[in-house]
Structures are given as structure tokens and as C-alpha cells.
Structure 1
Amino acid sequence: MLRPAAGAMPVVVPGAHCFDVPRDNGGVYRVMIAVPEGPPPAAGFPVLYHLDGNAVFASMVEALRIQGARGLATGVGPGIIVGIGYAVDGPFDRLRRTLDYTPPADPATLGERPDGGEWSPTGGAEAFLEVLEARVKPMVAGLAPVDPARQALFGHSLGGLFALHTLLARPCAFARIVAVSPSLWWNGGSLLRELDVRHASLPATRARVMLAVGGEEEPPETPGEDPHAARRRAHRLITNARAFADRLPAEVFRILPGENHGSAVHAALGPALRFALPAVP
């Protein structure tokens, strides 16, 4: 364990605060919020909500702080960053995120978890979406002036699946949605089938969508490869993301060269900020 030297101070994220929002079934969501310095725009600040807050919040805030200060050069404007996470010390609460980020599924279609082992409870996406709409959004609006017409949602992996589920379930809940490496293999590809059914009824005012995926996420078969590579290939992450983007269609589809499933989320931050919080709306 690190023994801090005399005078050492903890590292903090400038302008950020943390709140605990109770869950109906016990425990809390840990909501991290960073509000820009300076006066808000006349219509209020745009807001970028992102999932896996424990893992991504500090990176997202620092990326925006650097890029948002030079909007003419970067294309990124100031905005509020809201990370939704859990009351854990590590980057993920795997049991809770698996429940919160997934639509209902037939257990027979899921097979083994990508990291091996059996699945914990799933199918809580609608309940979690209601938490975002009924609790988190009003809390943020109570802390700073918010532009209700410029709210965006960012999710990676199962979080990307949730973001696209939100698009189909409540197409106008967010103005922009960023789904990075979305787990569209979920429930035998049911979200792609749902898109085909609902596509014609999506309103013209639906959220604009960006999809991104790492270039190494659907590896070719190689002799002696490990089981992890075979599972990733079977999930067809690039193929499925491209299919969803084409059928929607999405405003942006981006392959991140050289990135794998774990690294794609941070590689996508720059493009995601330009899309979700553009300097010129």
C-alpha cells in the first residue's frame, strides 16, 4: 500500500461533485457531476450523461476541460458531464451494470459470459432508464441551468447496448446518443430485429446517433488463439455495429484502428465529445 509522503494531497477532479441516489431495491447509484466554470449559455448548459461513471468520469471531464476551452479549434463546446456509477472502489460493479444495462433476454440465447462463467441477473434496463429520467435528470437540472434540448447519452459495451435500447424505447429522451462497442449480440441480436420492426415508427425528432467500435474487436481466426478471441469474433461486434448504423441510419459510424474492446472507450472520447457537445450546435 502506498504511504503518502508528508504534505501529499489527494487528486481531485476540478469542479466535480459526487452524489448518492438511492435505488428502489437498496443501495445507491453514485452520480458524479462536473459543471463548467463561467456563465451558462442563454438556453442553459448541454449535458452529457455517461454510464460506467467510476471508470470513465475523470477521463471524460479532463478531455472536455482541455477541448472545450478551445472550441474553435477542437469543435467541442462546454457542457455538464454526468457520470452514473456505483458505490464501489473499483471501475465497475459487474453485477449491477449487467442488470441495469440489459433488456430482458432468453437465458438460452446468452451462452457463457464474455469473461467466462455464468450470468448474474439481467433485464433491468427499463427500470434503470426510469431512474435516469425521473431522478438523475431532475437532480442535474436543480444544480445548474440545463438546456433540455441538448442532452446526450454515452455508453460502452453493455452500456452501448443500453444506449441503443434507449433510442428505441424512448427515441426522444436524449438529443444525441453515442454507443461504443455496443453488445448487440445480446439475446441473439434482438435489438437489431427490434430496430427493423420499429424503424418506420421512429419520429423525425429521434436522437442523432454515433456508433464506434475498435478495429481489433472482431479478430480473424488464427491457429492456437485463446478462447477470448474466439468469443469476441462470435459476437461480431464490428459487423453488428455497422449493420445497426446502416439500418438506422446513424449520423456517424467510426472504426477506431488498433483498438480492442477495453481500449475503445477511451479512444472514442474525442470523437464522442465533438458529436455530443459540438461547439456549434
Structure 2
Amino acid sequence: MKTTSLFLFFSFFISLSFAQKNTKDVDKSTPMVIGLIQKVPSAVLGEERKISIYLPEDYNQNDTTRYPVIYILDGGMNEDFIHIAGIVRFNTQPWINRFPRSIVVGIENTNRKRDFSFAVPNLDFVEKMGFNKKSYSTAGGSSKYISFLEKELLPYISRTYKTTAQKTVIGESFAGLLATEILLKHRDLFSTYIIITPSLWWGNESLLAEAPKLLKSGNNSNVQVYVGACDKAEELTMYNDAATLAEALKQDGVNFKQVHFDYMPNEIHSTAMHQAVYNAFKLLYPKTEYQK
């Protein structure tokens, strides 16, 4: 009993010492900062929008270096900003050097169904897809959101940070629907489109029906597109729509820099985003420049 008591005493003492040491270590710690959060007022949307920004580690406002910008439509801190910023940082490290160091801008959502969908005559098709029409009562505001991007956010980023003309947009699901609409109707806004499992079922696939005609206009020579699709067993309609979009881009698009269709049978709708973005960078920028 005495031996046990001594053991417990020394165990408590050692634990207390470690706890005190760890407390001191915490006191010496500094925050791990991965980016900035800013609030941008939007007259177009009539609300303030929160954006998250990752700057390359050697970013210096006073030097002459300028950077491409990668925009994430589902870009809040609790959405896709952190893991995509991590992919960008990984791919732009000197020992990988897949593409230039880049600024990442994540746009946090306030009402994604409203912002990412175009106006439609009625919502009957929503129930055919197994959804409740009431949950889409505010949908149809993509024209305002695109105007927000074109007239407010993109110019703000260009004024505030040292950017090049190269801009990428990343969108998945409903954000993929918006990215597709921008690609087809406002192509000059971005030079690279990463579109993942897009919700092209919206509006009875009317955007897909318009695609061949829309693709015949505009200059595509500096535009590159990645379209990713998850397991067709889970999302057959979305797989078919993504494949149809990619085929239209290849058949009806004129002089696209490159178009890639990526089928990921091992990913479901909820897991496709991370793998697709990694795959997209690898396909769009295949050369890794080894540096000693």
C-alpha cells in the first residue's frame, strides 16, 4: 500500500511538472497565421461579403513581383478555403514548382442557392430531382453575383494586391453551376476554370442545351478548363451532365488552350472537391520543375 501511494505521489508530481511545463510552452507560443480575412461591401448585392486571402510566403508589397489569383466560390474558412490554400502552397513550393506562386481568394457564402443559380420560369424540375421547392425559394440571383465579381471583387483584388491578368475560378456542385455559367457567358472573367460535379440539372439542363451556341462566340485561346465528375453510381445525372459539358467544350469550343475531363470513381459528391482540385492542377500544369 505504501509503495502504491509513493508511486501515485510521484506520478502526480511528474504529471504536474509536465502540465506546468506545457503551460509555459503555451505561453511562449505564437498564432499560426495562414491568411487574412477582409470584409468587402457590395452595392450590387446589397450586403457585406467576407473574403479569406492567402498570400505567398514571400509576398512583399514593396517589390515588383506580381501573382496570379485563384478564386474559390465556396471559399469561407469553414468551407473550402483552408484545404485548397494548402494544395496551392504545396504545389508552389520550390522543390515542386508546378505553377507560379499565387494569391488565393476565398469568398464566403451568405446564400449560395440564390447566388449560384440563374433565374428559371418555374421550380417544377427541383422536385423531379428529389428536392423541396421551398428550399430554393430565393434562387435565381447569379446575374447579380456575377456582376459583383466583375465590377466589385475582381477590381478590388487587383487594386489592393499585386496581381497578374491570370485568374482561376474553382466551383463544385452549385458553385460548379455558376462557374459553368461564367465560362459560357462571361468567359473573359477568368483564364482557368476548375469545375467539379456541377449542378447542371438546374433549369432542366437548359445551360447545357445552350452550350454549343455559346461556345462558338468569344476568344478561347487563353482559356483552359478542367471538369471533374465523381462516382457515377452515386450521382449518375451529375456524371452525365459533367461528361456532356466536357464533350461540348471539346467539340464546340474553338481553340481552347486545353480541356480535361476527369472521372473519379473512388470519390463521392461530398469527397470529390479536394482530390479534383489536386488532379486539376496536375493536369493543367503537368510539368514539375525539380530544383536542388
- What is the TM-score normalised by the length of structure 1? 0.79
Correspondent of 2:127 among 111, 118, 122:
111
Query: What amino acid sits opposite 2:51 in the alignment?
Result: V
Whichever structure has more helix as a proportion of its residues is 2
Query: Which deviates more, 163-172 or 5-14?
Result: 5-14
Correspondent of 2:162 among 121, 145, 152:
145
Correspondent of 2:93 among 66, 69, 74:
69
Give, in angstroms, the shift of residue 117 of structure 1: 6.0
Query: Which deviates more, 158-167 or 56-65?
Result: 56-65
Correspondent of 2:227 among 206, 211, 220:
211
Give, in angstroms, the shift of residue 53 of structure 1: 0.8
Match in the other structure for 1:27: 47
Q: Superposed, which structure 2 residues align to 1:3-82 within 5 Å?
A: 7=26, 12-14=32-34, 16-24=35-43, 25-38=45-58, 44-54=66-76, 55-70=79-94, 73=96, 75-82=98-105
Give, in angstroms, the shift of residue 207 of structure 1: 2.6
The answer to whether 1:131 aligns with 2:186 is no
Distance (whole Å) between structure 1 residues aligned to residue 57 and residue 126 of structure 2? 45
Give, in angstroms, the shift of residue 259 of structure 1: 0.7
CA contact (8 A) 1:151 1:174 kept: yes
The answer to whether 1:191 aligns with 2:207 is yes
CA contact (8 A) 2:124 2:133 kept: no
Q: Deviations over 1:62-99 (max 9, x none)?
A: 1221221046x46233101000113xxxxxx4xx1001
Give, in angstroms, the shift of residue 47 of structure 1: 0.7
CA contact (8 A) 1:99 1:121 kept: yes
Distance (whole Å) between structure 1 residues aligned to residue 91 and residue 210 of structure 2? 36
Distance (whole Å) between structure 1 residues aligned to residue 33 and residue 207 of structure 2? 36
Structure 1 residues 278 and 57, CA, compared in 2 at 3 Å: closer, same or farther?
farther
SS at match of 2:226: strand
The answer to whether 1:259 aligns with 2:267 is yes
Match in the other structure for 1:269: 277
- What is the TM-score normalised by the length of structure 2? 0.76
SS at match of 1:248: helix
Q: Deviations over 1:245-273 (max 9, x none)?
A: 01112611101231111110111121233
Considering only aligned residues, what root-mean-square deviation do their CA atoms show, in Å?
Answer: 2.8
CA contact (8 A) 1:171 1:202 kept: yes
Q: Deviations over 1:143-190 (max 9, x none)?
A: 321111x11111000100100100111111111111000011111001
Structure 1 residues 185 and 131, CA, compared in 2 at 3 Å: closer, same or farther?
same
Runs of 4+ in 1 over 6 A off after TM superposition: 8-11, 40-43, 276-280
Match in the other structure for 1:225: none
Mark the structure with the bigger radius of gyration. Answer: 2
Q: Deviations over 1:207-234 (max 9, x none)?
A: 321100112xx32xxxxxxxxx6xx44x
User: Sequence identity of aligned pairs in percent?
Assistant: 23
Give 5+ residue unaligned stretches, structure 1. 87-92, 220-228
Distance (whole Å) between structure 2 residues aligned to residue 114 and residue 125 of structure 1? 22
Structure 1 residues 262 and 137, CA, compared in 2 at 3 Å: closer, same or farther?
same
Match in the other structure for 2:244: 243
Match in the other structure for 2:114: 99
Distance (whole Å) between structure 2 residues aligned to residue 255 and residue 81 of structure 1? 26
CA contact (8 A) 1:152 1:276 kept: no
